[in-house]
């Protein structure tokens, strides 16, 4: 039976899904608040992704499952309201203790206006190992998938695998996790920490879904990663880090030298104000 009343986010979700093309990757300069999202959109981004680290820092919390769900999703909603392009939210490990909680988070993500999520398998507790057991993480991804489907939104579930980032495995272990997460309902696989071309090519070949990599200074260019078959490229917290580095340099110059050189080239008041007062 055809759904006569599609969810208002359906078109945006399908458009976002269609942007994941191996060899012609979706490039995401991640934002952390409404104005950075508006700037990223104005720069030409086809979609806006949040960075959980940058968002947490902006809200006065450290990254690593320390930010509350309500606070995080309020910020995602502000980002979604500030732009016209699709928004995908980095929700860390789901802002929840168990799979049922992850489902609740995904429902809140949809209500906030986002059409994609990143869900990571890293653990930040002092014990239990650096990554969640595969079966446990697969259950959490399945819960996310079911919640989105129940809401009637083809949410893009991006399964983040932290084997490389946490020193918990290589290509073989990553592919094992990827297969399990895709079987549980994930749509894409994100492997931060893997940028070596040989490794990236092995992941592209071995993952039966769009592959997302994390970039920054020293990583292969977008063109090089596209040639390897990557479908999505994220800057993660790098833009937020660069912005905050400017704050530190400018503050130190002002306080220590009494000069203002670091402030040259900033966006003017009218431009920034205009980005948030568009009709």
Q: What percent of the chain has pLDDT over 70?
A: 98
CB 162 within 8 A of CB 121: yes
Domain chopping of the chain, boundaries: 10-238
User: What is the per-residue pLDDT for 228?
Assistant: 98
Question: What stretch of H or E contains 255?
Answer: helix 238-256
Check whether 252 has a pLDDT greater than 80.
yes
Lowest mean per-residue pLDDT among 124-128, 186-190, 227-231, 254-258? 124-128
Check whether 229 has a pLDDT greater than 80.
yes
End-to-end CA, the chain? 37
User: What is the per-residue pLDDT for 129?
Assistant: 86
Tokens of 162: 């932290």
pLDDT in tens, 72-103: 999 999 999 999 999 999 999 999 999 999 99
Contacts of 142 (CB under 8 A, 6+ apart): 99, 184, 185
User: What is the per-residue pLDDT for 70?
Assistant: 97
SS3 33: coil
CA pair distance 182, 161, nearest whole angstrom: 12
Check whether 215 has a pLDDT greater than 80.
yes
pTM of the model: 0.95
User: What is the per-residue pLDDT for 130?
Assistant: 94
CB 177 within 8 A of CB 194: no
pLDDT band (50, 70, 90) for residue 29: very high
User: What is the per-residue pLDDT for 32?
Assistant: 98
Q: Which CATH class is domain 10-238?
A: alpha beta
Check whether 1 has a pLDDT greater than 50.
no
User: What is the per-residue pLDDT for 4?
Assistant: 65
3-state secondary structure 178-236: HHHHHHCCCCEEECCCCCCHHHHHHHHHHCCCCEEEECCCCCCCHHHHHHCCCCEEECC
């Amino acid at each position: 039976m055809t759904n006569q009343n599609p969810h208002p986010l359906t078109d945006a979700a399908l458009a976002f899904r269609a942007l994941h093309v191996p060899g012609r990757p979706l490039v995401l300069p991640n934002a952390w608040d409404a104005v950075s999202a508006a700037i990223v959109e104005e720069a030409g981004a086809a979609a806006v992704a949040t960075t959980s680290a940058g968002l947490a820092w902006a809200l006065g919390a450290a990254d690593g499952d320390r930010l509350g769900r309500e606070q995080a999703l309020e910020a995602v909603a502000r980002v979604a309201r500030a732009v016209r392009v699709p928004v995908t939210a980095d929700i860390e490990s789901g802002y929840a203790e168990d799979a049922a909680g992850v489902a609740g988070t995904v429902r809140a993500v949809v209500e906030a206006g986002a059409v994609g999520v990143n869900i990571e398998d890293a653990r930040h507790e002092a014990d239990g190992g650096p990554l969640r057991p595969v079966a446990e993480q697969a259950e959490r991804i399945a819960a996310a998938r079911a919640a989105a489907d129940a809401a009637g939104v083809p949410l893009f579930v991006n399964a983040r695998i932290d084997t490389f980032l946490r020193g918990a495995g290589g290509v073989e272990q990553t592919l094992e996790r990827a297969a399990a997460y895709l079987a549980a309902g994930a749509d894409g696989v994100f492997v931060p920490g893997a940028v070596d071309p040989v490794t990236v090519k092995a992941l592209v070949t071995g993952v039966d879904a769009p592959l997302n990599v994390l970039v920054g200074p020293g990583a292969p260019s977008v063109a090089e990663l596209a040639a390897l078959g990557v479908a999505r490229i994220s800057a993660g917290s790098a833009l937020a880090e660069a912005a905050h580095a400017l704050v530190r340099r400018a503050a130190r110059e002002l306080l220590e030298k009494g000069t203002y050189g670091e402030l040259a080239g900033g966006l003017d008041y009218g431009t920034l104000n205009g980005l948030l007062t568009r009709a």
